[in-house]
Structure 1
Amino acid sequence: MNNSTTVAASGAERKKKRRFLSSWDAPFAGYLFISPWLIGFFGLTAYPMFLSLYYSLTDYTLLEPIKWIGLRNYTRIFTDDPRFTQSVKVTFQYVLASVPLKLVAALLVATLLNKAMKGISFYRTAVYFPSLIGGSIAVSILWRNIFGVDGIFNEILSIFGIVGKGWITNPGSALWTLILLTVWQFGSAMVIFLAGLKQIPNDLYEASSVDGANKVLQFFKITLPMLSPIIYFNLIMGVINSFQMFTSAFVITNGGPMNSTYVYALYLYERAFSRYELGYASALAWVMLVMIVIVAAIIAGTSKYWVFYETDTGGKKRK
C-alpha cells in the first residue's frame, strides 16, 4: 500500500514537472531565437543611451575624473552657447530644404520607372546606386572637387561663357551644395515609392480615364492619396536622417564658410572629440533626440489631415 502510494505520488510529481517544463518550452525557444537581437539592443543601444544620459548630467572631459553637475550642461546649452543656436538654425534650414526636395525627386523618378520597358531593371539599379555610396567620404571628396573654384561644374559653365564661383566657399551657396548631395541620394526613398506605386489598383486609373481624367489629374487625385502612407514614412525617415547629417558637412566644408554649413552633428562632434567635453556633448545629443521627437510628433499629429488609409471608412480622413 505504501509502495503504490509512493509510486503514484512520484508519477504525479513527474507529470507536474513535465507540464511545468513544457509551459516554458515555447517562450524559452522564442527568447533563444531573439537573443542575438536582445544582446545587441541592450549592449549596443540601451546601455550606451542610458550611459550617455548619465554623462550628460556630469562634467566629463576624459582628462579629469567624472563630476556630477546635474542639469548645468542643459542650462548652459540654452542660455550661454551661441554656437548651439547657430548649429540649430543651419540644421533646420538643411532639413526644411533637403527633405521635401529629396521626396519630390524620389517620387517623380519612381513614377517614371514604374513602367514595363526594356532594361527597366538596369535603370532602377543605376538610380538606386548613389544611395549605397552617397554617405561615403570618397563621394564627399568628389563632391568637393566638383563644386570647387576649378571644379567640373565651373568648367561646364565656362563653356557657355558663365564665370562660376567657388560654390563651397561661398556662404550663400555652400549649404545648397550639401542639400544637392542629399537630394542626389534619393534611391532608398525611390525604391519604397516604387513598391507603393505597384500596390495601387490599376482599376482606379481605368475608371478615372473613362470619366475623362487626364494623367495630371490622376496623379493628384489617385496616386498621391494612395501613396500618402508611403510619403508619411519617407518623410519621417528623411527628417531623422537629415538631423543627423555629418559626413558631407565635415569633409566638404568643415562647417564653413562663416559657419554657413555648421550643422548640429558637426558641433556635437567638435565638442566631444576636439574639446573632449563628453559630458556636454552627451547633453547636446539628448537635446538633438528631443528635437527629432518633437518634429516627428508634429508630423504625426498632422498626418490625420493628409494621410489616407484603405481601412478608412469611405476614404474619409481619420479623426
Structure 2
Amino acid sequence: MTSVAAPGRARETDTAAPARPGRNRMSRKHREWLAAGLFILPDGLGLLLFVGIPMLLSIVLGFFQVSGFGSYEWVGFGNYERMFQDPMFWESMKITGIYVVVLVPVLFCVSLALGLLMKQRLPGTGFFRTALFLPYMISLAVVGLLWKFMLDDQVGVVNKSLHALGMDGESWLGEPALALGTVIAIMVWVMMGYYMIIFLAGLQEIPSEYYEAARIDGAGPWTQFRSITWPLLKPTSFFVLIMSTVAAMTGGLDLIFTMTQGGPANGTSLAIYYIYTQAFGFGEYGYASAMGSFLVLVMVLFSAVIFKVTGSGRFDDDR
C-alpha cells in the first residue's frame, strides 16, 4: 500500500528557500570607493615620494647652510635674507617675469588659432596635427642642441637661408637683445602643438547645434567666436593659462642650459637656471632651496591672480 505525501509538504520540499546575502559582504558604494582608491594609489604614492616629500625637504633645507662636505648648519632665515640682498637673483626674476609675460600670451593665441584651424578638418589635417605635436615629444635638451646648431652665426641654416635671400644674418644667441626672444620663439614652437590638442578637445565639446542656429540667424565667424566659442571655451582657456604659466616659470632649464647657459651677459638667466647654478655649480644647496621655495610661492600667487582675473568658478553661470 503506497502512501501519498501531503500537498503542502511537497511544495515545501520542491521549492528551495532563497539564499540570504552574507552579512560581511561590502555594499556597492564601499566597493566603488575601494576600486577608486586602488586606482589612485599608484599615482598618489608617486606624487608623495617624488613631489611631496622632496618639496617638504627642500623647504626644510632652506633654513640650513649646507657645505660641500655634507655638513648642515642651522641659519634660520639667513638664506632668505641673503636672497633679498642678492641683485643677481632679482635680475633673474626680472628676466623670468619678461619671459612669462611674453611667452604665455603668445603661446595661448598661437595654440588657440591652431586649434580653430585644425577643427575645420581641411585636407591633410591629420598630418599637420601630428607634425605640430611632434616637437613636444622631443626632449628639450635635444631641441636646444638642434636649434643651437641651426642658429649658429657661421654654419647655421637660418643665417645661410637669410644670406641666400640677400639679407644679413644675425647672432641669434650672441646678442642680449635677441637671445631671450629667440628662446621664447623656440619654446612656443615646442609647446604650441600640445596646447593646440587641448584647445581642439575643448572646441569639439561645443555642440554643433549652437553654430547652426547662429548661422541661421545670420551670425558671421567673428560673432560666432565671440558669442559661442569664447564663452564655452573658458574652462579650457583657464587650464591652458595655468599650465603654460607654471611651465614658463619652472620649465625651460634644459633649453637654457644647452643653448645659452644664461648668457649672453646673463640675458637669458631665468630664475630656475640661477637656482640650478647655485645648487649644482657652487654647492649652495640651502640657498638654492630657499630661492626655490620663494619661486614656488610666487608661482602660487600668480596662479591665484589668474583665478581672480579669469573669474574661474563661475563658468556655469557664464553659460
TM-score with structure 2 setting the length: 0.85
Deviations 1:107-146 (A, max 9, x none): 111111102344432221111111111x431211111122
1:183 aligns with 2:188: yes
> What displacement does 1:188 show?
1.0
8 Å contact kept, 1:225–1:308: no
1:61 aligns with 2:67: yes
| Amino acid across the alignment from 1:184 | W
> What displacement does 1:31 show?
4.8
Partner of 1:280: 287
- The structure having more radius of gyration, on CA atoms, is 2
Deviations 1:205-249 (A, max 9, x none): 222222322212222232222212111110100000000121111
Residue in structure 1 matching 2:234, options 228, 231, 235: 228
Equivalent-residue separation in structure 1 for 2:117 and 2:39 (angstroms): 42
| Amino acid across the alignment from 2:114 | V
Equivalent-residue separation in structure 1 for 2:262 and 2:103 (angstroms): 17
Percent identity over the alignment is 35
Partner of 1:239: 245
Structure 2 gaps of 5+ residues are 1-21
Alignment of 1:111-190 (within 5 A): 111-133=116-138, 135-150=139-154, 151-185=156-190, 186-190=192-196
| Amino acid across the alignment from 1:114 | K
Equivalent-residue separation in structure 1 for 2:23 and 2:63 (angstroms): 50
Residue in structure 2 matching 1:301, options 292, 303, 308: 308
| Amino acid across the alignment from 1:104 | C
Equivalent-residue separation in structure 2 for 1:208 and 1:37 (angstroms): 44
Residue in structure 1 matching 2:88, options 83, 87, 91: 83
Equivalent-residue separation in structure 1 for 2:108 and 2:88 (angstroms): 30
RMSD: 2.2
Equivalent-residue separation in structure 2 for 1:308 and 1:39 (angstroms): 33
Partner of 1:49: 55
For residue 312 of structure 1, give the secondary structure of its aligned residue in structure 2.
helix
Equivalent-residue separation in structure 1 for 2:261 and 2:282 (angstroms): 16
| Amino acid across the alignment from 2:149 | N
Distance 1:31 1:226, change over 3 A: closer
Equivalent-residue separation in structure 2 for 1:103 and 1:29 (angstroms): 37
Residue in structure 1 matching 2:203, options 185, 193, 197: 197
Equivalent-residue separation in structure 2 for 1:33 and 1:262 (angstroms): 41
Residue in structure 1 matching 2:78, options 52, 72, 79: 72
Deviations 1:138-159 (A, max 9, x none): 2111111222212211111112
Partner of 2:15: none
| Amino acid across the alignment from 2:246 | I
For residue 233 of structure 2, give the secondary structure of its aligned residue in structure 1.
helix
Mean Cα displacement is larger for which, 110-119 or 169-178? 110-119
Equivalent-residue separation in structure 1 for 2:227 and 2:149 (angstroms): 43
For residue 176 of structure 2, give the secondary structure of its aligned residue in structure 1.
coil
TM-score with structure 1 setting the length: 0.85
For residue 172 of structure 1, give the secondary structure of its aligned residue in structure 2.
helix
Equivalent-residue separation in structure 1 for 2:224 and 2:86 (angstroms): 51
Partner of 1:96: 101
Partner of 1:4: none
Q: How many residues align?
A: 292
| Amino acid across the alignment from 2:171 | G
> What displacement does 1:34 show?
3.9
